Amino acid sequence: MSLSEDLIKENQITWKSLFTHPFVRELGEGSLPVEKYLFFMKEDYFYLKEYSRVLAIASAKAPDKDLQTFFAEFLHSTLTFEMELHRRTCESLGISRNELEMHQPTVLTLSYTNFLIKTAYEGDIVEILASLFPCEYSYWEIAKKLKQSGLPEKEIYRDWILTYSSEEFGGLARKLKSFLDRFSDSVSGKKFSRLNKVFRESLRFELYFWENAYREGLIKDLFEKR
């Protein structure tokens, strides 16, 4: 198996949970409450701003021209193609672009982005690739499955599915997998354990991110239950 497949296999329960989460399921059905989706889009917009910083660091640390070019293309697509979805959707729901830029994220989102930035600064290029893989590749896989099941009537949910199942997004996801798998023969033992730890942390954050959006704030829920 390839390195990416090994990492998914080691964390298959959490990986599969991404595809069955109520937020994802209801988004595909079109039954997700709009307020939950808007909460998600605002949190995700902040996430993508920080994600873009990670991609810039990765491009600077890339050991060769191919990887440097990939991260530069990835950064451009995130800042334009992907984040434009969020700006467009939020505007249609009454949130101006300025309000979106000023959104203050929850502690969960801050923790996730801080983890990615720390990995980008302190880790090597394969660790950076492993930290980015759960988000990029799972979104593409999730969107493809939702599209195959039939697009929902609500335009904002169709827009999300079509964006993340698109060839532009899918091309980046496949390239990311390909670059990660280049290291399949050179990663074993302690290095694999370290890589798996990074991958698992990022994967867990992805699952928490869906849950945070579904509850409209995990920390808020914790305090309300006291």
The three-point CA angle 185-57-42 to 5° equals 110
Residues 192, 5: contact at Cβ < 8 Å? no
Spatial separation of the C-alpha atoms in residues 69 and 32, rounded to whole Å? 38
Exposure of 127 in the CB half-sphere (CA atoms within 13 A):
20
Contacts of 112-119 spanning 24+ positions with Cβ under 8 A = 112/47, 112/205, 112/208, 112/209, 113/46, 113/47, 113/50, 113/51, 115/201, 115/202, 115/205, 116/50, 116/51, 116/54, 116/202, 117/50, 117/53, 117/54, 117/57, 119/54, 119/198
Computed over its alpha carbons, how large is the radius of gyration of the chain? 17
82 is catalytic: no
Spatial separation of the C-alpha atoms in residues 203 and 83, rounded to whole Å? 21
**Longest C-alpha distance within the chain, in Å?**
53
Active-site option among 101, 135, 168, 224: 135
Active-site option among 43, 82, 136, 206: 206
206 is catalytic: yes
Q: Which residues are catalytic?
A: 135, 206
